[in-house]
Amino acid sequence: MASTTTMRLPTNSTAVTESFPRRNSISGFISTRSSSLHSKSIFLRRNFNYRSLNHNLNLRRRSSFSVVKCVSGKQKVKDNELQQQEATTSLSSFAPDATSIVSSIKYHAEFTPLFSPEKFEIPQAYIATAQTVRDTLIINWNATYDYYEKLNVKQAYYLSMEFLQGRALLNAIGNLELTGPYAEALSQLGYKLENVAHQEPDAALGNGGLGRLASCFLDSLATLNYPAWGYGLRYKYGLFKQRITKDGQEEVAEDWLEKGNPWEIIRNDVSYPIRFYGKVVSGSDGKKHWVGGEDIKAVAHDVPIPGYKTKSTINLRLWSTKAASEDFDLNAFNSGRHTEASEALANAEKICYILYPGDESIEGKTLRLKQQYTLCSASLQDIISRFERRSGASVNWEEFPEKVAVQMNDTHPTLCIPELMRILIDIKGLSWNDAWNITQRTVAYTNHTVLPEALEKWSMDLMEKLLPRHVEIIEMIDEELVRTIVAEYGTADSDLLEKKLKEMRILENVELPAEFADILVKPKEAVDISSEVLQISKEEGEEDADGNHDEVEEAIAEKDGTDKSSIDDKKEELPEPVPEPPKLVRMANLSVVGGHVVNGVAEIHSEIVKDDVFNAFYKLWPEKFQNKTNGVTPRRWIRFCNPDLSKIITQWIGTEDWVLNTEKLAELRKFADNEDLQKQWREAKRNNKVKVAAFIKERTGYSVSPDAMFDIQVKRIHEYKRQLLNIFGIVYRYKKMKEMSAAERKESFVPRVCIFGGKAFATYVQAKRIVKFITDVGATVNHDPEIGDLLKVIFVPDYNVSVAEILIPASELSQHISTAGMEASGTSNMKFAMNGCLQIGTLDGANVEIREEVGEDNFFLFGAKAHEIAGLRKERSEGKFVPDPRFEEVKKFVRSGVFGPYNYDELIGSLEGNEGFGRADYFLVGKDFPSYLECQEEVDEAYRDQKKWTKMSILNTAGSSKFSSDRTIHEYAREIWNIEPVKLP
């Protein structure tokens, strides 16, 4: 037995007291390798009754299937219900303690390992620990869905291309209220819980706020006991892992799955066919059939999502893709044509390789469209299968919207609409009207952006090739829409009707359906030629062999006082024919038309959606439009990531109920001036800053002072989020420092650590230039001995949820400085506010509501307002904008080469000129720069008064209660999905 020590086995009365040596083998620490199987099973049963657990799980599975199959046998149903109750009672009474957790970890290390048995080190400890937590989650998951099956309740299904989950271990054991027992168990095994948890890679299933919101929603749905599922794709390599080099951002593939994922349960028995290409044929029965093409399979991987202080555990079902075994061409392989032999397999698998593959090529566009259709088709097939199973022998499709609510998170899942129509009409045999009624009552759409590039448009030619049946259905939906528009606006005012059709149609640059072909035909301008001349030309057949109407032209010339030669000259001067614009499918318009609710994600955003983005639709269907201001889960974003602050809040409020009822945070307001609270508050903040200083040193090599203000902007790198405004402000600050003496610097500036984080999309050149510029500024400033700790600029590589959980509790100032009217909501601003961080920002997205809730005096506001933006851009295009001298000073300073030899002309050029793509400062950095600098001076002044600053910090936390995702989910459930909480007995 390869072990350095013999482990004493725990008994019921004796806990393990001897730690594992770091290089111990599994056989050594379990100490049963040389024992009999009998003694091993006794050991396991004594400490963790797996046989009983497995019996109960099997019992539950049998009972749930039996209830479905034996609905006519009353006695069998009663017996099954009794078994169900017994199993539930047995499972619900199971409460792991440290001793049973130790045994469970040992069990998984021995019997369900994802690693070799020679050693048990910290990565293996994480895997085994996660598997023990998953056991408990599976118990609760089975109980939850058995109960939902039994009650046949309506469920919400949340479809999203992103779920930015973050690490699961600490969140899961926190929600299960098992943090203490797990910490003790791992301590007995020689490890710290925190160190074990840090072994977990972030699940690479998202990028930014869209995916993080989806994950917060799942947490809240489970916590509030709402019946729901999440559906997404299981990306093998995620978006990318970001490295920062001397050349800026470098993208490499994510490796989050390389050591396996202990949280997922692969459901090989849950798979659905997905078809691409092929053709549509009409059968003898008159139905349309989609045949031929390329067939793949979508396979389910389930991730249990636990609620907080509840047994409810809901499901995130992720789809992977593969081809059938018979698609591997064995003959081609044996002939040496290896690539050709596995082409079908590779084409299927690559669908789930990468989140948002580059779409500048036709291959990239095709892959993205395949991803979106796979998500929609597999999820809907799964939803329908479960609906039919619950319905038993008699399926009433009219009840489908009474049992199913499908929420499309942005436009990526828009193909749900034609896909549901296809299934209902082509496969289930419903009429068009019935299918359309069911679809509209089932589907709802969340809009996340006003950016035109994010309101997806797909090439109709591409979609016709890839999804021919869906294009037919979309054309019919578009025809129905045209009919509605014509009925609403009539044909008397052809200009108005043309405007509405151009705005609202799903198909862009596509001729009107035949039924409406003549409604927009305008009379041509009458040519002043006598009817006699035209009649003569007609009667005498004056058209020559080349088809020219020379005599008619001469007659026209004579009438106009011109000669024929001038007409001929004009013919030769005609411009080249303009190519026809591409035919497009507007997914956002399809989402609005096909769903029963459209919601924005912040009050100001929802108003922009109604007044601008979808104004024509809002006027037609005002009842469709709602607001659902985003939220974040207070469990992950205060309770677990900031335990020091959480303890203080609980102490002063007098209860931990605020974790579930965040409105109780408002009680902190009455203590905001209390010196004892302020002292505790500052100590907690400084402790978090010390952790971040160590983290920065580890990740970047830079040393920062925890006594400086921590000023943070972490989010996706994009021009509208204006990281460029932030770094220009820092450059101005640095330049002013360099012009002062040491004493003047110290007097004039508060020490700051300016922290950036976020990924620039791989093909977004300007965003990558911004990353490069930030890192160049940091390299210069951080090595300047004259500046020292007065100013540091840090770019944290590979920003993700786990990094956010470290940075946000330590933040003192956070920057949410997007161009007004361009950020839909934001969710990081909510996380910062919850953690007592003051914010500098524009009146954009949820900033507006945060400022209202925390108080205007506790928010640093600057910049143009949303309603002013269009006018300011017009002013710029007319050449009337006069830049602030300080802005010009910064640009000149950058161009001087002080930050290195890289040529920043393209970056700075985007801020110059009055028009042109990539120029003209579209995001108004120059316009807002002066007010931004002045606002930063106010920040410095406020920070010098630490008593005032701490009070403002407390009031930010106290005012953040509205921004819990629990509140948001209650609103979705009540006002869109029409679902009720279902609490397990």
Show me where the domains of the chain are located.
98-452, 634-867+928-958
pLDDT for 524: 55
Strand segments, DSSP code E, in 101-247 are 155-159, 228-233, 241-245
pLDDT for 579: 85
Q: Which two three-digit tokens encode residue 573?
A: 């001067």
313-347 pLDDT per residue, tens = 999 999 999 999 899 989 999 999 999 989 999 99
Q: How many C-beta atoms lie closer than 10 Å to residue 884's C-beta? A: 15
pLDDT below 70 — which residues of the chain? 1-94, 521-574
pLDDT for 81: 47
Produce one character per residue of 624-641: b if its CB has 16 or more CB atoms within 10 Å, e if not.
bbbbbbbbbbbbbbbbbb
Are the folds of 98-452 and 634-867+928-958 the same?
A: yes
Q: Which residue reads 């005599």 in tokens?
A: 551
Let me know if domain 634-867+928-958 sits in CATH 3.40.50.300. no
CA distance 955 to 949: 10
Residue (of 925, 602, 607) closest to 766 by Cα position: 925
pLDDT for 483: 96
Residue (of 820, 879, 882) closest to 851 by Cα position: 820
pLDDT for 525: 52
pLDDT for 82: 45
pLDDT for 455: 87
CA distance 359 to 412: 14
Write out the catalytic residue numbers: 448, 715-716, 721, 827, 831
Please give the span between the terminal C-alpha atoms of the chain, in angstroms, as a whole number. 48
CA distance 512 to 482: 8
| CATH code, 98-452 | 3.40.50.2000
Q: Please, is 89 exposed, middle or buried when counting C-beta atoms within 10 Å of its C-beta (0-12, 13-18, 19+)?
A: exposed
CA-to-CA separations, 538 to 541, 542, 548, 553, 567, in angstroms, rounded? 5, 7, 13, 13, 21
pLDDT for 29: 46
pLDDT for 565: 55
pLDDT for 114: 82
Strand segments, DSSP code E, in 194-323 are 228-233, 241-245, 248-252, 265-276, 279-282, 288-291, 294-306, 313-322
Q: What is the DSSP string of 40-99?
A: HHHHHHHHS-HHHHHHHHHHHHHHHHHHHHTTT-HHHHHHHHHHHHHHHHHHHT----HH
The residues, ordered by sequence, that sit 6+ positions from 210 with a Cβ below 8 Å of its Cβ are: 160, 161, 162, 409, 410, 448
pLDDT for 473: 98
Q: How many C-beta atoms lie closer than 10 Å to residue 123's C-beta? A: 15
